[in-house]
Amino acid sequence: MHIRLVCLQYPIRTERIGMKRVIRNTLLLCICMLTAALTACQATPDAPIVVQKDMEQMLEKADRPENGVREAALPDIPQGRYTFSATGLDGRLRIAVNAEITVPETTAMPIVRVKRGGFPQELVTKLFNHFYAGETAYDASSEHVETKAEIEPLIIDAKRRLADGSYAEYGYTEEEYTARLKRIEERYSAAPETAPALPISNGTMHIQELENIGDYLLLNVDNDTASDTARTMNVLTPNSRYSANSGFGTHLYYRVHSRTKKTVEYNAQGILRTDGTNLPEAARKKLTISFNEAKALCDDMFAAAELSDDYKLGHAFLVGDAGTGVYSGDGKELGTPAENYAYRLYYTRMINGIPCFVNTDIGLDDSNNGMTSLPWYYEYISFTVDNSGLTYLSWHNPIEIMDTVTENAALLPFNDIIDVFEAMIRIEYEAFLNKWTEGSGEMDINIDTVELCLVRVRERDSEATGLLVPAWVFYGNNTVMSNDGSTLYDFAHGNASSWNKEPFPILIINAVDGSTIDLGRGY
């Protein structure tokens, strides 16, 4: 966790939806005074001054009510939406906020210690029984056995190439290719007419040793291959403390697709946030499954796992099949309608009825922290549901709850959080834009949701544990236009996309001490 100390040179906005107030600048004034004591005040700082926050000081502040107000008593969170607009870098940076403010229904915001988790056999068995209820599933983790029918086309092709000399196109001599044909014929002689039946699975994982990262438990199952619809489930989870802390990651996949027809692939190109009521006409005509029916399929899985209280829907979006159905964030059609549509639903873990931040990036980890610790991926849960039902589940890197550090943390007033946001959004992204476009590009930032939730940060000097702390997450998107005419989307942690994707945390502010949290660093 770190706080950036700056001398503010920007006018501070004094009016917001639902309230007019005299700004309380206590927090920002302290920041400015401390900065002045440390360094001469610069009119336009090249980069924020960064000071590593002391985790113990933050926890001490969270435990002292005089340092903030309890969540239930926050009087200045406006009803409705928070709006804000600003520019920077002589207009090259443009910020637009029109965001719903979301606060959990709770009387206490805790701080909770967590560690890397996994998928215990009990949970895997429940999910296995849910997905394969009433049918036989087979262990697909054993090595595939080639049959004579599979090898025969290789022999025919090799003989053809020997006859017409085309083997030379691949760098073979005639002698070498003749030897290759002989090896294929030997494989054919040893191969069975039919492959042996796969063993039946009851959902039990078995040990898989992965080089340099320890033992994992593996499950890889499929339904009857005689069925045209393949339904596969794959789990890889640590089997020891060493493998749990290896940084390799943990996953659980479930996928449904045709064995004979081309699989419909959905992507987030031009993604549209939805609750089912704002679908474009093209999608309404194509989708026969309702949003509530799609959500029920996801909820049913957690119910079967007896985790209904532990996981809830975070964000949901409309997606289309590859490269089509392009929509902007407001639902305006930009391209040819997709042939197929689906709902993509992201779930998040709940702690005492309080959500963790919604992670929409499967590869998001804190490996940019500059420390020697191994990366720690953030928990990610994504469902894809189309007219055929649940087609894809991707669940990665669950955490394990260890203990509660603070039951009811004292939080800063919302107005102080907004003051920090309105200063830091410009400072952080001005430096970011200049760095990645060499001082010449432009960026548009749009934010549509502000949420008080829990965000995981690393504990100091620990590779294996972290804290879930109360934080305000500002979800949105950004677009970067370079001076060469190219456009990239959603710059974050050194990565970008060629299309706009799901809204992600543009800025995160610790609700206890007002410091910014960088997910790419883990503090």
Confidence of residue 11 (pLDDT cuts 50, 70, 90): very low
Q: How far apart are CA 383 and CA 470, in angstroms?
A: 26
Q: How far apart are CA 190 and CA 389, in angstroms?
A: 43
Instruction: Say what the pLDDT of residue 372 is.
Output: 54
The residues with which 382 forms a beta bridge, in sequence order, are 346, 394
Nearest to 283 by CA among 344, 345, 343, 341: 341
pLDDT tens-digit readout, 272-303 = 889 999 999 989 999 999 999 999 999 999 99
Q: How far apart are CA 349 and CA 401, in angstroms?
A: 11
User: CB neighbours of 285 closer than 8 A, spacing ≥ 6?
Assistant: none
Average pLDDT of 393-407?
Answer: 95
| pLDDT, greater one: 48 or 263 | 263
What's this model's pTM, rounded to 2 decimal places? 0.79
Burial (Cβ within 10 Å: 0-12, 13-18, ≥19) of residue 92? middle
Q: How far apart are CA 348 and CA 336, in angstroms?
A: 32
Confidence check: pLDDT of 242 > 80: no
DSSP 318: E
Lowest mean pLDDT among 36-45, 106-115, 195-204, 385-394: 36-45
Percentage of the chain modeled with pLDDT above 90? 53
Residue entry with tokens 């007219």: 387
Average pLDDT of 318-345?
Answer: 70
Would you state the structure tokens that stand for residue 459, as one six-digit string?
């504990």
- Report how far apart, in Å, the C-alpha atoms of 511 and of each of 69, 412, 501 are: 10, 6, 27
Instruction: Say what the pLDDT of residue 327 is.
Output: 52
CA angle 123, 218, 201 (to 5 degrees): 75
Instruction: Say what the pLDDT of residue 63 is.
Output: 66
Residue 217 identity (one-letter amino acid) = L
Q: How far apart are CA 351 and CA 168, in angstroms?
A: 64
Q: How far apart are CA 69 and CA 76, in angstroms?
A: 11
**Is residue 302 within 8 Å of residue 247, measured between CB atoms?**
no
Instruction: Say what the pLDDT of residue 365 is.
Output: 82
Confidence check: pLDDT of 495 > 90: no
Nearest to 109 by CA among 80, 69, 75: 69
Lowest mean pLDDT among 43-52, 103-112, 264-273, 366-375: 43-52
Q: How far apart are CA 353 and CA 310, in angstroms?
A: 8
Q: Which helix (H) or strand (E) holds 497?
A: strand 495-497
E runs forming strands in 78-136: 81-88, 93-102, 111-116
Could you tell me how many helices (H) and strands (E) the chain has, helices first? 9, 25
Confidence check: pLDDT of 246 > 60: yes
Average pLDDT of 309-330?
Answer: 77
State the SS3 of 208-262: EEECCCEEEEEEEEECCCCCCEEEEEEEEEECCHHHHCCCCCCEEEEEEEECCCC
Percentage of the chain modeled with pLDDT above 70? 78
Q: How far apart are CA 426 and CA 88, in angstroms?
A: 6
Tell me the average pLDDT of the chain.
Answer: 82
Residue 18 identity (one-letter amino acid) = G
pLDDT tens-digit readout, 51-89 = 344 666 666 666 665 555 555 445 467 778 999 999 999
pLDDT tens-digit readout, 189-241 = 999 998 777 889 999 999 887 766 778 889 999 998 888 999 999 999 987 77
Confidence of residue 423 (pLDDT cuts 50, 70, 90): very high
pLDDT tens-digit readout, 98-137 = 999 999 988 789 999 999 999 999 999 999 999 999 899 9
Average pLDDT of 469-491?
Answer: 89
DSSP 377: B
Q: How far apart are CA 170 and CA 152, in angstroms?
A: 21
- In Å, the largest CA–CA distance within the chain is 89
DSSP string, 401-460: EEEEEESS--B--HHHHHHHHHHHHHHHHHHHHHHHHTT--EEEEEEEEEEEEEEEEEPT
Phi, psi angles (nearest 5°) of residue 125 = -60, -45
